[in-house]
Amino acid sequence: MTALGDSGRLYRLLWLSVAAAVATIALKTAAWLLTGSVGLLSDAAESVVNLVAAGVALAALHWAAKPADDHHAYGHAKAEYLSAGFEGALIVVAALTIVVSASGRLVNPQPLSDVGVGLAISAAASLINLTVGVLLLAQGRRHRSITLEADGRHLLTDVWTSVGVILGVAAVALTGWERLDPIVALAVAMNIVVTGIGLLRRSAGGLMDEALDDAARGRIEEVLDGFRARGVDFHALRTRQAGRRAFVSVHVLVPGAWTVQRGHDLAEEVEARLREQVPEATVFTHLEPAEDPKSFDDTALDRADSSPRPALR
């Protein structure tokens, strides 16, 4: 599948998330109006966050799919991290909203009504979120889209929220203990905060040029080890992840007596093998003579200063 085809599929999946958010907002609002449960009200509020987050994700995905240009030579893929960070912040805000609503009801508990019908409606909304969330999470991992994965995690968090709220409201109806409704809402809010903070941390890691994961780096080392058996070596290996795109750079050390053509052919082979092992990777190689000491001045991010210093007088 082409990159353009991937983007089109991701757009359709996010539009599905928008449709799911609209449907669950309507259902959960109806459940709250029927029961008067602060837990169900908080659940409906989180679905509003889902709708806003899905809209932001659509905008971020559109921006991330733009090709590289003169001002963004490495593309726009990092826009996906901004979306995930924004969604994480929205999750935290939703949790705080739940805390405020539940705290008031904890002090002044209120009786619930039409619990059976309200819970059935809420359960139907949760089933929608579960189906769409699992699909988004699976496709996000498949296409290495943090935007899609974040949206899927958000929907699944909403499902857990709904399950907790449904159990709490059902327990209130069975026991008559009205304060259990806000207590459950507060417990669910804490769980939501953990998910939101996790998304914020992952977004920050991407914006800080975090390296590829251990599995990807292991595959890269396996490729390089195969070439080392042919009498060449490598150093200054650096990797980073930017949304769905990966960047790999490495210096190739070859005998100084090699011709430019021979060195170039080897570098092309190395790059092709690395792209096979790291899909959607942009690979940079730098050819250096193994016998030249200056070839080892740039193994670190900042090149060592090996220039001759003037004598003191």
For residue 214, the tally of other CB atoms under 10 A from its CB is 8
Percentage of residues in the chain with pLDDT exceeding 90?
23
309 assigned to some structural domain: no
For residue 100, tell me if it sits in a domain.
yes
Asked if residue 4 has pLDDT above 70, the reply is no
What mean pLDDT is reported for the chain?
81
Query: Residue 159 and residue 291: Cα distance in Å, rounded?
Result: 61
Do 133 and 230 fall within a single domain?
no
Tell me if 302 is assigned to some domain. no
Q: Do 46 and 154 have their domain in common?
A: yes
Give the pLDDT score at 109: 77
Instruction: Please tell me whether residues 84 and 103 are part of one structural domain.
Output: yes
Q: Which of 191, 207, 223 is the last residue of a domain?
A: 207
What pLDDT, in 10s, does the model give residues 206-243?
777 788 889 999 999 999 999 998 889 999 999 988 87
CATH for 79: 1.20.1510.10
pLDDT at 213: 86
The number of domains in the chain is 2
Task: Output the pTM of the full model.
Answer: 0.60
How are strands ordered across the β-sheet holding 233-242? 233-242, 245-254, 281-289
pLDDT in tens, 29-65: 898 888 888 778 777 877 777 777 777 777 777 776 6
Q: Which residue range is the domain that position 273 belongs to? A: 214-296
Q: How far apart are CA 101 and CA 45, in angstroms?
A: 10
Contact 71, 4 (CB under 8 A): no
Domain-ending residue, one of 186, 207, 228: 207
For residue 226, tell me if it sits in a domain: yes
Residue 99 lies in a domain: yes
Q: Which residues contact 69 (CB under 8 A, 6 or more apart)?
A: none
| Residue 291 pLDDT exceeds 60 | yes
**Per-residue pLDDT at 271 exceeds 90:** yes
Do residue 150 and residue 249 come from a single domain?
A: no
Considering the domain boundaries, does residue 308 fall inside one?
Answer: no
Are 75 and 195 within one domain? yes
Q: Residue 312's pLDDT is what?
A: 46
Q: What is the pLDDT of residue 7?
A: 63
- Give yes or no: residues 43 and 173 share one domain: yes
Report pLDDT digits (tens) over 243-264.
778 899 999 999 999 999 999 9
| 135 and 234, same domain (yes or no) | no
| Element holding 247 (H helix, E strand) | strand 245-254
Identify the DSSP state of 146.
Answer: H
**211 SS3 class:** coil
pLDDT of 306 = 55
In a domain, 303, yes or no: no
